[in-house]
A and B are shown apart, each in its own frame.
Chain A
Amino acid sequence: MSTSEAVVSARSISKTFGKGGVNALQDIDLEVGQGEFISLIGPSGCGKSTLLRVIGDLVEPSSGEILVNGKSAHRARLDRDYGIVFQAAVLYDWRTVAKNIALPLELMGYDRATRAGRVRELLHLMELDGFEKHYPWQLSGGMQQRVSIARALSFSPALLLMDEPFGALDEMTRERLNVELLRIWAELGSTVIFVTHSISEAVYLSTRVVVMSPRPGRITSVVPIDLPQPRTFETREDPRFFELVTQVREALHAGGAEL
């Protein structure tokens, strides 16, 4: 992969919190190409969420350089290059589903007609048709998270940053949303950076799995996932899938993770 088509290019990123405090990140190098699906995996405290926030310019690195689409992360944030999805859906209780999805578009000054059209597309894409007038607290956790993803996609950001988006959901909902996320990723050709605790989720979704370990937070290995696309429910029963899960698990152990 040549640097010119890199969406994210991080060079020796370090982050220390507090005076002489915790080394959250140390010497992180990471390149993410256009259309890749990258998972960051590691035990608690390995800095995977911090790395995601550094890339999204929500946390400033202590040292190192980060480029997003060839510009600084700060510039990229001001250019609205990021769509972010957190573990909690973080929907606004006082807005309907449609108005939650339209929030970024409103902030970015799109007119009413454009907003309405875009919201309709996204409701359809996320299979939320008919729920546009509902309030978030009238939806299940899984549906709330789908609204949150629709909101992140609403302005077609260059990069989708997802911080354990399905971590709070039950296994069944989680697997269904995994399939949907891959469908959308393939349909839109977006670039995704995805933080997770789950090895099988990381293997199932990603083109590459980035394994991290704590104290100090660093990348210990990168596992390319060569499972065929598109991935389906059967992918999880593919022998190659189990091999890759084992490979990632071993990489986590080698990194000193206590699993």
Chain B
Amino acid sequence: MWDALRVTSRIGSAAARIAVLVLVLLGLWALWEGYRALWEETGWTRPFRVNATTMPHLHDIVGALFDPLREGEPLLARFMLDAALFTAKEAAVGFAIGAAIGFLLGALIARFAVLQRGVMPYIIASQTIPILAIAPIVVVGLGNVSILGWTPKDWMRVAVIAAYLTFFPVTVNTVRGLRSADPAAVELMESYAAGEWAVFWKLRVPASLPYLFSAFKVAATASVVGAVIGELPSSIQSGLGGWIINFNQYYALDPENLWAVNLVAALLGISFFLVVVLVEKLVVHRPPEILV
């Protein structure tokens, strides 16, 4: 009886969520098209003149995905999928490297208070440098590196940029998270004569998980942005960044295409985010009000 109720309420809440999603999408669509219609009707030119080039119809943008670029070629969506998967690989590897480095740095800073003052300023400084300035140096520079005759592949160099954007939020939240353990819980571990490693793995790390996952959510979307930007200076054609450059040059002719690739990039970032949310649901057990 209760189980049945619970199941119905779960279905109910899922239905409600889908309804909200549909409403939000409809609202956004109405905003975009309404704005277009109003500005076109009145001929207002501020902040910019609205026409098919500056603001294509949303259905034209989505429609562009289902048109071939040239006669007889596959649909644009097909190319977009391949490009998204390529960029996803760079972003995922970058995320993994960045998260690992971020956690390690955070753990060291949380453990050795000296490092807070010694290292933290440089970590913060690293994030104030525009990523667009760093990307060519890293991506092009690493292309000339050879380790025993092995040169990092294109996508690996781009992954480094993704990692660069990923590690920072993870470091900051690792420090906070590892220090968030209840002092009474630490005392309890002491009373069991638990060693420092045991306190770390059985208390501090689990206590830090909600903080870590907050960082992972920020980092997941940042890693996609990092991967796209990393592709720009290196003339890597296989990812979304390559298509963005390409469609930029033809914007006056086919504005829908650039909007379409942006849409795909956004969807990729959202899927990264959702994967983190899903893993959090499976891994982190907390009172529901603590999880955001």
Contacts and interface: CB of A to CB of B under 8 A. Distances in A.
A78 interface: yes
Interface string A81-114: 0101010101011110000000110111000000
B191 A107 contact: no
Given A107-B198, A135-B285, A92 B203 contact: yes
Contacts of B209: 94
25 contacts: A58-B190, A77-B193, A78-B193, A79-B193, A84-B187, A84-B188, A88-B184, A90-B182, A90-B185, A92-B185, A92-B203, A92-B206, A93-B285, A93-B286, A94-B206, A94-B207, A94-B284, A95-B206, A95-B285, A103-B202, A107-B189, A107-B194, A107-B198, A107-B202, A135-B285
A88 B184 CA distance: 8
Most interface-central of A58, A92, A137 (chain B CB within 10 A): A92
B112 interface: no
A135 B206 CA distance: 14
A90 B191 contact: no
Nearest to B199: A107
A56 interface: yes
A108 B189 CA distance: 11
B193 A80 contact: yes
Contacts of B284: 94
Interface in B195-211: 198, 202-203, 206-207, 209
B188 A90 contact: yes
A78 B189 CA distance: 11
Which 5 residue pairs are nearest across A and B when measured between Cβ atoms?
Answer: A137-B287, A84-B191, A94-B206, A90-B184, A78-B193
A176 B182 CA distance: 28
B192 interface: yes
Contacts of B191: 56, 58, 77, 82, 84
Given A93-B285, A107-B194, A137-B287, A58 B187 contact: yes
B: interface residue count bin: 20 to 34
Nearest to A53: B187
Contacts of B184: 86, 88, 90
Most interface-central of B187, B188, B206, B290 (chain A CB within 10 A): B188
Nearest to B287: A137
Most interface-central of A88, A95, A104, A108 (chain B CB within 10 A): A104
A137 B184 CA distance: 17
Most interface-central of A56, A94, A95, A104 (chain B CB within 10 A): A94
Interface in B173-231: 182, 184-185, 187-194, 198, 202-203, 206-207, 209
Nearest to A82: B191
A191 to B, nearest CB: 16
Nearest to B284: A94
A175 to B, nearest CB: 25
A56 B188 CA distance: 11
A201 to B, nearest CB: 21
A86 B287 contact: no
Interface string B34-51: 000000000000000000
A248 B193 CA distance: 36
Interface string B155-167: 0000000000000
A79 B189 CA distance: 13
Nearest to B193: A78
Interface in A46-99: 56, 58, 77-80, 82, 84, 86, 88, 90, 92-95
Contacts of B193: 77-80
Contacts of A107: 189, 192, 194, 198, 202
Nearest to A105: B192
A170 B182 CA distance: 24
Contacts of A95: 206, 285
B202 A106 contact: yes
Interface string A19-55: 0000000000000000000000000000000000000
A51 to B, nearest CB: 15
